[in-house]
Structure 1
């Protein structure tokens, strides 16, 4: 894919001629939310580096199957370096690590298994009890332009994505959370870039924290996130569902599902987040 779209330009990495395990990039202000860069964007950046590391031979292992990332320190707009290492090359999958470093500090460390989503033996064999989240079409959902102006000022990332939230899961925005721990909505990129496996790594950490729907204010920085990419997504809107079943002692697990326009479950994730209450800010 040529880097004609914002997401591709802003996750682009340049390998160092003297050390191919190192790639340099830039974290852009436009992906900031609060004081730091969105965790899904960081995951996609590491994912791009691993695609180059593990997909650079005739095996073609360029698609993330599973990636687990630990967020070690808050990232800021500015230059970054990603170091990659191959741990194993196999016939059907390969495994490697990626470390994102900024200003001498490690921001994220990930381990991932990559393969070819079109080339495995059981491609197309789907047996699932999962069902897509039910919600109104995008044009009947709430756009992020309706968010309070003060919030939009600290979340420039909302200009990088087109997000439409299910009206049934945004009561928290007007002081009436449902208590279900559920937020869902539609996602696409506003410049027309279609979803692919790399964009799914962004999508699993795009919605507001599900703790908002429990009436728990404050942002929720990710400590650890594991994503599974299940299929190459069809063009069009992605349908997202984030939910939590347990908020306790300031920590929350959050599950995410990503469904494509063909009604397929194309990615799943679970993360552990620390919820920063207003009095902790």
Structure 2
């Protein structure tokens, strides 16, 4: 049984079950999700996450998911293999692998549960990023042409960046290593846990704000999901504190329209190649 197609994102992560093997699925990676030299890492993580959610039954939501990017994924057919490692009462753990033409693109390890059962008291010192409302932020249509040319997926986003963090777009990066803004899908699809996996890798790389433009390939990406998001805009903040040896970390927070921290992530990525 396939998932109902509701939006471009749903088409992007759609899976066709293998007729004989319950642990295998076929995916079609669309060209509209490309950035730089390959398919966006967050979209790939959502494809693997979708396959695991189908395997985990009463545990439909990723709680913690880590992906290791082994080679650049290209538009076209892909195979997703899954394995259920452990099934418990409140949590289950599984692995997934995405391959194309016999070459593995992504390997994932994830723990699944039911985020609907985790709605309780929240003790936190975290605060959502402070920025102007969406109508006072800068839409992707104003992005530099060079960025738009290498990031087809931006056409699928309604992304409004905080004016205080886009000096890099006019040649004046702040060098603070932070980019933040408002996010929703251009076709109006409301957020859910699988979409949060994409959102964790949706903003331009924070290296742009360090004066290092260009594609920053992801090596590893881990996302922790804390709650199912409410409908509406998401507030997203990406930041880095350390660039060394040609690599940097990028920490992200995703807040929903109710002001809850619904996802946190960290990725290790390569510094963009400079001319």
What's the TM-score once normalised by structure 2's chain length?
0.97
Residue 209, structure 1, aligned to residue 216, structure 2: no
Q: Report the alpha carbon displacement of residue 119 of structure 1 after superposing the two structures with TM.
A: 2.0
Distance 2:166 2:272 in 1: 20
Q: Report the alpha carbon displacement of residue 152 of structure 1 after superposing the two structures with TM.
A: 1.7
Match of 1:171 among 162, 167, 174: 167
Distance 1:163 1:141 in 2: 9
Q: What does residue 68 of structure 2 align with?
A: 70
Residue 148, structure 1, aligned to residue 148, structure 2: no
Match of 1:2 among 1, 4, 9: 4
- Displacement over 6 Å in runs of 4+: none
Give the count of matched residue pairs.
273
Q: What does residue 49 of structure 1 align with?
A: 51
| Deviations 1:2-40, CA, capped at 9 Å, x for gaps | 312111122100111111111001000000112200010
Contact 2:251 2:267 in 1 (8 A): yes
Match of 1:94 among 92, 99, 113: 92
Q: Report the alpha carbon displacement of residue 151 of structure 1 after superposing the two structures with TM.
A: 2.7
Distance 1:2 1:18 in 2: 21
Q: Report the alpha carbon displacement of residue 216 of structure 1 after superposing the two structures with TM.
A: 2.0
Q: What does residue 83 of structure 1 align with?
A: 81
Name stretches of at least 5 consecutive residues in structure 1 with no aligned partner: none
Name stretches of at least 5 consecutive residues in structure 2 with no aligned partner: none
Q: What does residue 14 of structure 2 align with?
A: 12
Partner of 2:154: helix, strand, or coil? helix
Distance 1:214 1:25 in 2: 36
Q: What does residue 226 of structure 2 align with?
A: 230
Partner of 1:191: helix, strand, or coil? coil
Distance 1:63 1:4 in 2: 19
RMSD of the alignment, in Å? Answer: 1.0
| Deviations 1:120-163, CA, capped at 9 Å, x for gaps | 4xx32200000000001111111110112333222211111111
Distance 2:150 2:219 in 1: 21
Distance 1:115 1:243 in 2: 28
Distance 1:182 1:176 in 2: 13
